[in-house]
Amino acid sequence: MRLSVVVTGVVLAAVGSSVAMVAHQVGLFDGPAKTKMYVVYSAEAQDVAAGKRSVLELRFRVVNGFHVNSHTPKSELLIPTTIALQPAAGVKTEAAVYPAGMAYSLSASPSEKLDVYTGDFTVKLPVVAEAGAHTIDGTLKYQACDHAACYPPRSLPVQVMFTAK
Amino acid sequence: MVVGIALLLWAGWHNLRERRLAMQKAQESRVVLTPSQGDQGDQSDSDEPHLRGKAAPAFTLTTLDGKKVSLSDYKGRAVLVNFWATWCGPCKIEMPWFEEFEKQYAAQGFEILGVADDVDAGKDAIAKVAQKTGVTYPILLADGKVEKAYGGIDVLPMSFYVDRNGVVVEQTAGLGSKDEIEAHIKKALASGATATATAAGGQ
């Protein structure tokens, strides 16, 4: 009996901590309004060659169980995933290069094919930067769904930090 | 001998203390999971406010063709208030089902009001989706206030089944099965009918 209480406690504590971990991941960029996020950004410092065209990688992860439209969804009614970047001194950017999406369809409507990102996806950003440390601010706009519901469009703040040497 | 006995007593006391501490730690680690009030079986987020059992918030919204429609216009009838958006795939799956059910239960006093929750898409896009899904029930344009009144609508589709007395008898978030939808419609029709019959009987 005592053992079962302890084991239950440990299992529930583990469940509780994993739930808290997911909540933390989802809420990484939460504002004061506690807006739910379905995509997280992995901010990694990168090095590029100064004065030469280089490609930065912006890594994102769609929270498990959700999907977002790719940059080129199959319907004009669907909201594409896009990134908008602000100008940064000493940095010239080219248009972001988005990965191809994967085919997806809801079980209740198998004939309608969607083009989505799930799990990890990387947006590539070609830049030419002057020597030094740089930060490009931007926003990833996306609209997420799961197997049965959709969630209003969201904006995820992004900071791309890199050093040109 | 005395030292041996003292050692044994100390060891026993130490073991007891360790066990008590371990139990205390286990109790602290124990998490009690309790269901949120009355949302068993509901697909909505746990922090989604529930209107079930409460009066449906009143609203007056504009239809795609510019007419004003109020929920109060439908007093005495069971109404499904369905929030949807043009970018919501699951919404578009259930809309033809709603149309079917509206025809099936219209004679019993069942009505549907679709509320398009993405006015930014424009009337043309909303009308196009309504037409493509075969919907003929009124499509109203959300005004920002109605979403707040109905709890923030952070998930789509979201549906509120309102009985003949204006009380929300069921609230669902996400795509349900056709059978579930029909059961909710029957509940809305029956709930109001019972209340009406009771009120009539009491007069």
φ/ψ of A49, rounded to 5, equals -80, 130
Bridge partners (DSSP) of residue B156 are: A150
- C-alpha–C-alpha distance, residues B98 and B80, integer Å: 9
pLDDT tens over chain B, length 203 residues: 566 666 566 655 655 555 454 434 333 333 333 333 333 333 444 455 489 999 999 999 999 999 999 999 999 999 999 999 999 999 999 999 999 999 999 999 999 999 999 988 999 999 999 999 999 999 999 999 999 999 999 999 999 999 999 999 999 999 999 999 999 999 999 986 654 444 443 33
Cβ–Cβ of A108/B93 closer than 8 Å?
yes
Bridge partners (DSSP) of residue B112 are: B80
Tell how many helices (H) and how many strands (E) occur in chain A: 1, 12
Chain B residue numbers touching A153 (CB-CB < 8 A): 87
Mean pLDDT value of segment A133-140: 97
| Whole-number pLDDT of residue A113 | 87
- C-alpha–C-alpha distance, residues B3 and A112, integer Å: 83
Cβ–Cβ of A77/B27 closer than 8 Å?
no
| Whole-number pLDDT of residue B83 | 98
Minimal Cα distance from B86: which residue of A?
Answer: A77
Rg over alpha carbons for chain B, rounded to the nearest Å, is 27
| C-alpha distance from B156 to closest chain A C-alpha (Å) | 5
CA B66 to chain centre: 28
Confirm if A39 and A123 have CB atoms less than 8 A apart: no
Greater confidence (A120 vs B9) lies with: A120
B69 CB neighbour count, 10 Å cutoff: 16
ipTM above 0.90, yes or no: no
Minimal Cα distance from B172: which residue of A?
Answer: A149
CA A133 to chain centre: 24
Nearest alpha carbon to residue B185 among B74, B54, B79, B93? B79
Cβ–Cβ of A12/B31 closer than 8 Å?
yes
This prediction has a pTM of 0.74
